[in-house]
Amino acid sequence: MALFQKKNFFLLALFLYLMISCSPQTNPNNTNTQTNTDTLSQTTEPLIKDTEIDTTKNIKEDTKKQVAEESINKDTNTCDGLSWQEVLDAKNWKQKLESEFFKVNVKKIYNLFKQKNKTIEANKYLKKRLHLPPTTILYEYAPLTKAGFANRAIAILLPKPCVNLDVGWCITQIGYVRVSQDVKFVLIDTEKNKIINQLDLEENFEMPIITEKEQLINMLDFKDYTHDGKACEFYVLSYMGCGNTDYQFIGYNPHTDKLQVITYKIKITEQEYDAKTETYLPTDTSYIVEVNALPNVPLDKMVKKKILKYSYYYGHGDDLTNFMDIKFDAQKFCFTGTLLRKLDNTQMRGWAGY
């Protein structure tokens, strides 16, 4: 029995010795261990790289998708006002106006748009003749027969209109409702049913729709602003602030057979107030500029008088500005005239132009 126990003890000791001798060494200088580690690193490294590449690819694809979606949303939501379809829904007008301090007759404005839309619907046959896209609104159409051009007409197209509302103190010149983007003015050959040329509504300009008296504006109500004996001009506006509105005139030029913006070639001069003599003395300032609009044009005077003169204060504490000898040059198809600014540093004006 004792011999059996000694034998078992010997076998157990041998087993433990073999286990210890076969276990991995923890010595950092052991070359076998370092080799095994390098081999493991080389084996697993491609898997890590493959995983990183796949992840990056997914992130890039998701980013491209997000950017594309944001770009689409940006392109389709650039209007801060109402689309034409939205203005024909009375709920949208009520929602738009209920927070305004100045209350307006929502029902009346809505009915004006319904009235205008009936005219637009009646002009659908003209759209087909001109081969216009189905989504484009033919807003107004007016022949130039009364001006002596039997086969010419002007039309206003709204491919994607943005209708804006302005309620407040400063609406007498511009009206309640205006279209501020995507407006095209086109000259039409009525015999061939084709568009000769088109002008886009320039940036910062607007086309008024409804006046402060809650009446529809007829944009193509042609007047003879040039005094050439042919009424085929109209205007658009750029609202600069209370009391200050720039007027841009557009008309038919028979010499070029084009619809054109009528520019202004203005000679600018200045006079400075002299306190000693209490008079305005000329300065060395004198130059000519060409602009596409003039501020605060008195429309009634412009129609009645062939040579226009008017004055105004442009803004807070600004100096007196005098427009003189504004008249139309038929050969150059532009207005010419003189602008005289009277500078007076001794005066402090408050809210002169606003």
**Tell me, what's the pLDDT at 56?**
43
Kindly list the domain boundaries of the chain, sorted by start residue. Answer: 78-221, 230-354
Q: Is 139 left (phi over 0), alpha (psi -120 to 50) or beta?
A: alpha
> The tokens of 314 are what?
């442009």
Global pTM reads 0.71
Residues 6+ apart with CB under 8 A from 240: 246, 295
Mean pLDDT in consecutive groups of 10 residues from the start of the chain, 354 residues:
48 56 48 39 39 40 47 52 84 70 72 90 91 92 95 94 68 63 92 95 84 84 94 87 82 96 92 83 86 89 91 65 88 91 63 35
pLDDT in tens, 263-314: 999 998 888 888 888 888 888 888 899 999 988 888 899 999 999 998 876 6
pLDDT given for residue 167 in this prediction? 58
Q: What per-residue confidence (pLDDT) applies to 79?
A: 73
Length of the chain: 354
Residues in a beta bridge with 335: 264, 328
Q: Which amino acid type is present at position 238?
A: S
pLDDT digits (tens, 9 = 90+) for 43-75: 334 433 333 334 344 444 444 444 444 444 444
Which of 101, 123, 233 has its CA nearest to residue 167?
101
Per-residue DSSP letters for 118-183? HHHHHTHHHHHHTT--TT-EEEEEEE-GGGT-TTEEEEEEESS--EEE--SSS-TTT-SEEE-SS-
d(CA 283, CA 264): 23
What are the two backbone dihedrals, phi and then psi, of residue 196, each rounded to the nearest 5 degrees?
-80, -50
Predicted pLDDT at 98 = 63
- Per-residue pLDDT, 350: 39
pLDDT at residue 157, rounded to an integer: 95
226-242 confidence digits (pLDDT tens) = 999 999 999 998 876 66
For residues 235 and 260, the answer to whether their CB atoms sit within 8 Å is no
